[in-house]
Amino acid sequence: MLLINVKDNETIDRALSRYKKKVKDTQLLKEVRRRKNFEKPSVTRRATVLKAIHRESIKIQEMND
pLDDT digits (tens, 9 = 90+) for 2-35: 888 898 999 999 999 999 999 899 998 888 988 9
Q: Is residue 33 part of a domain?
A: yes
pLDDT of 53 reads 97
Query: In one letter, which amino acid is 63?
Result: M
Q: How far apart are CA 42 and CA 13, in angstroms?
A: 43
pLDDT of 34 reads 87
Asked if 34 contacts 28 with a C-beta cutoff of 8 angstroms, the reply is no
User: Other CB atoms closer than 10 Å to residue 34's CB: what's the count?
Assistant: 12
pLDDT of 61 reads 94
Q: Is residue 43 part of a domain?
A: yes
pLDDT of 2 reads 82
Q: Is residue 2 part of a domain?
A: no
Q: How far apart are CA 27 and CA 29, in angstroms?
A: 6
Q: Is residue 4 part of a domain?
A: no
Q: How many domains does the chain have?
A: 1
pLDDT of 44 reads 93
Q: Is residue 1 part of a domain?
A: no
- State the residue range of the domain holding 44: 12-64
pLDDT of 55 reads 97
Nearest to 17 by CA among 28, 25, 9: 25
